[in-house]
Amino acid sequence: MTETQAFVVIRLELIKQLAAYGYTPSVLAGRQPNKQQLVDNSVYLFPIGEARQGVQGRTYRPKDGHAGHIERVRVSKTIQVQCFKKTDIQDASAPTASDLCAIVKMVIDSLPFQEAIRAKGVATHTSVPIREPEFINDAGDYEKNPSFDFDMSFTREIRPITPAIETVTAVTRGI
């Protein structure tokens, strides 16, 4: 699985489960190669680090003259979630950016979310507490930018071309 494939699993399930609870923010990949404007009522996901879990393993299943060599490693990518939502100070019942971030965290940590993504070869774990910095927006006002991190795990593999051993010959040498 690639990083992008794992992200697609996380994003689609997050959109589905947020909608099931009545939340419909845009869920976007952050830090794209081309610059983009911030979208209000949005959740941005982007990787900030990667580590291996355990050691690289290999298997062989010979077929058609090749060893069927596959090398796999479990990868844990730290993902940052950032939420943006303008606060309507006239409506105390409207969720804030902090509320949206907390709901996203709850969904990612929930059993239904975990079961759905694990069925597709992805897992999440180790979510950290929410941070609540602020920034000055285009209008010159303070706006909350809550965020948290979690680890996303999946298995990455490579398939080296390894010829199969067809024959073995023993040679005895004298001293």
pLDDT for 33 beyond 60: no
pLDDT of the residue at 136 = 78
pLDDT for 36 beyond 80: no
Q: What is the pTM of this model?
A: 0.82
Give the Cα separation of 158 and 160 in Å (integer): 6
pLDDT of the residue at 32 = 60
Confidence class for position 158, pLDDT limits 50, 70, 90: very high
Give the ranges where the chain is alpha helix by DSSP (H): 3-20, 97-109, 111-118
First and final C-alpha spacing in the chain: 53
